[in-house]
Amino acid sequence: MPESPLQLTADPAAFPSEPPAYLDDPVRIADHDQAAFATVDTMLNHWDRPGWNEQTRAYYWMLTFPDTPALTGLARHCHHRLAPLGLDPIPLDALHTTLTRVARSSELPPARLDTLLQATAPALPPAFTLRALPLAGSRGAIRLSLAPWTPILRLHAALSDAMTTIGLAPRKPTALLRPHLSLAYNNRRRPAGPVIDAVAALQDLPPVDLSVRDVQLVELRREDRAYRWDVIKSLPLN
């Protein structure tokens, strides 16, 4: 497969810190994610996030998957197999891919939110299909790899450009994006070895194809040890 013209950069704050050499090859992306996870020594508490509490509300662009029985079936199976680890499974009706944070709800009045939607809608790229591939992880979560990356990167770039045009600064540049779909969050500091071993036993599960036809602007909140949201607007891809 040809390499994507979109360029990603290495960064120690990203995971994996180095992007894969090929951004559209499912096998190489999955191998790269799994190899990166295998090098983790210590799992960190995902919920240890300064500035976030149950009163926090913030707008995010996300991909949500409310009517995807194949994905929920895969997630349910993984949740069952990983249950002895005591992770926090992501509710089956809350599976998502986070694209970019927009702003805290208190920082963005309704009129400016409407302006953002108007700027974003005509800039969106075409619809696409993703493949969710079992199974890898990061320092704070267990997750599915996604491929190809190019359409997600183009979508992220379009969302970021629209934000910039109305004076909002994207928190993360497209060059640092590492697309994935989390299944469970790690909830305490622990040695990574047993988690890596449990994940490795699930890497032969069949992939799931996901049709991405729209993108959601949501107001995100935390409830106990899970994320929940209200969809403000779902914009169709062009």
CB-neighbour burial class of residue 86 (10 A; exposed 0-12, middle 13-18, buried 19+): exposed
Domain assignment present for 21: no
State how many domains the chain has. Answer: 1
Residue 231 belongs to domain with CATH number: 3.90.1140.10
Reported pTM: 0.94
Q: Which two tokens stand for residue 188?
A: 């305490």
pLDDT digits (tens, 9 = 90+) for 82-106: 999 999 999 999 999 999 999 999 9
Any domain includes 160 = yes
| Cα distance between residue 164 and residue 120, in whole Å | 10
Residue 112 lies in a domain: yes
Within a domain: residue 180?
yes
Give, in order, the Cα–Cα distances in Å from 46 to each of 61, 102, 156, 184: 20, 21, 23, 10
pLDDT at residue 5 in the model: 55
User: Tokens 């891809």 sit at which residue?
Assistant: 237
32 in any annotated domain: yes
Model confidence at 132, in pLDDT bands (50, 70, 90)? Answer: very high
Domain that holds residue 192: 26-236
* CB neighbours of residue 8 within 10 Å: 19
What is the percent of the chain with per-residue pLDDT over 70, rounded to a whole number?
98
Token couple for 229 = 């949201």
- Domain presence at residue 15: no
Within a domain: 13? no
Residue 191 lies in a domain: yes
Segment 9-59, tens digit of pLDDT? 999 999 999 999 999 999 999 999 999 999 999 999 999 988 888 889 999
pLDDT at position 2, please? Answer: 39
